[in-house]
Amino acid sequence: MQRPLPWFWIGLLLLILVVPTPAGRLLLDLVGGLTLTLLGLPLLLGTAGFLTWQIRQRRLRTCPACGFRAIGLEQCPACGSPFDPSSGLGGGAPAGAPGVDASTVTIDVEVIQDSD
Ligand SMILES: [Zn+2]
């Protein structure tokens, strides 16, 4: 059994849309506003999220000892060493031990072979 199409309501809707009445104009405005909201809201939320992420990243501080990154703490939660106050902006690569420039350090590796 097939349900008959609601021709009456379809005709009424077309009449409202086609004939320039205040009701038709209101309906068109409503549909336009809804479409604009649906299209604009994700864009707005995405922009807000991106800006929030950028601001948060600038506040991240990098631990000079272990490279752990955290926000709003005076001490590193991973190793306990105090954060460098100047490392709040930019961050950069984590250094090795405090006070040691990693680019001037030579690391000697000794190979130890186990004899059975
Ligand atoms: Zn640390």
Mean pLDDT across 85-94: 51
> How far does the centroid of ligand 1 lie from the alpha carbon of residue 70, in Å?
10
Q: For residue 82, is it within any domain? A: yes
Residue 38 lies in a domain: yes
Q: What is the mean pLDDT of the chain?
A: 80
What is the 1 CA–ligand 1 centroid distance (Å)? 73
Q: What share of the chain is helix, strand, coil (3-state, %, to 5)?
A: 50, 5, 45
Model-level pTM? 0.38
Q: Name the band, by pLDDT with cuts 50, 70 and 90, for residue 42.
A: very high
**Does 75 fall in a domain?**
yes
CA 106 to ligand 1 centroid distance, Å: 22
pLDDT at 46: 95
**CA separation (Å) from 88 to 31, 101, 104, 107?**
48, 19, 24, 29
57 Cα: distance to centroid of ligand 1 (angstroms): 18
Distance 78 CA to ligand 1 centre (A): 5
Domain of residue 58: give its range.
7-86
Among residues 107, 97, 99, 105, the alpha carbon closest in space to that of 65 is found at 97
